Homo-oligomer: A and B are copies of this chain.
Amino acid sequence: MSPKPKSSDPAEAAFRAFVRASGLFRNRMDPYFARYGISASQWGVLRALQRAENEGLDGLQLSVLGQRLLVRPPSVTTLIDRLERIGLVSRRPDREDQRAKQVALTPAGRELVARVLVKHPAEIRGIMGCLSEPEQREFQRLMERVAAHLETSIDSISPDPRNLRDPRDPRERRSAAAGDRRP
């Protein structure tokens, strides 16, 4: 074969590196949190609730949690179900909105968060420590740029997932060119 430039496109190369790093990242974090008997997603919930406490709130609505964690309502429900079952959070009715519920840490949940937080800075540095401080800042800057762009291009979850009922989607309409797989 002739000189076939395999990765001449910097965008694609960056894309691929991102995908790969994300996979490795997940493979690293999952066992880390498993040592505490929780999943990475569950940790996200606990941390969000702890931050809420630090801001003087005594709970968060499920919908707020979903927006923060970039997860849709049914996933939040099952996530909280399990955390409640293992006694780390509790659901309480929201006084001001009868259909909403406030989720808060239990004492056991608070204690687990504290226990994880002791080790957390070391774990984070164990991952990001391969970059110098200026590189870490650049890394952050580029990540936030991409994230901000994704946030505007797709309003995936952050604003509210269910208001996307606009039938006038200017984008490609359900290609269905050669073979339509799943109905």
Contact with B along A118-141 (1 / 0, CB 8 A): 000100111111110101111110
B24 touches A139 (CB 8 A): no
A9 interfacial by beta-carbon distance below 8 Å:
yes
Cα A70 to Cα B142 with chains together (Å): 24
Given A11-B125, A14-B136, A115-B177: A27 in contact with B146 (beta carbons within 8 A):
no
User: B28, B133, B135, B178: which contacts A154 (Cβ < 8 A)?
Assistant: B28
A181 interfacial by beta-carbon distance below 8 Å:
yes
Cα A40 to Cα B157 with chains together (Å): 18
Given A35-B175, A146-B130, A175-B35: A27 in contact with B157 (beta carbons within 8 A):
yes
Which of A15-23, A57-65, A91-99 binds B? A15-23
A150 touches B111 (CB 8 A): no
B178 touches A111 (CB 8 A): yes
Cα A9 to Cα B140 with chains together (Å): 11
Which of A14, A38, A115 has most B Cβ within 10 Å? A14
User: B14, B37, B129, B140: which contacts A131 (Cβ < 8 A)?
Assistant: B14
Closest beta carbon of chain B to A74's beta carbon, Å: 15
Given A28-B150, A143-B17, A150-B21: A121 in contact with B180 (beta carbons within 8 A):
no
A115 surroundings in chain B (CB, below 8 A): 175, 177-178
User: B112, B156, B172: which contacts A28 (Cβ < 8 A)?
Assistant: B156
Closest residue to A128 on the B side, CB-wise?
B11
Cα A154 to Cα B29 with chains together (Å): 10
A126 surroundings in chain B (CB, below 8 A): 153
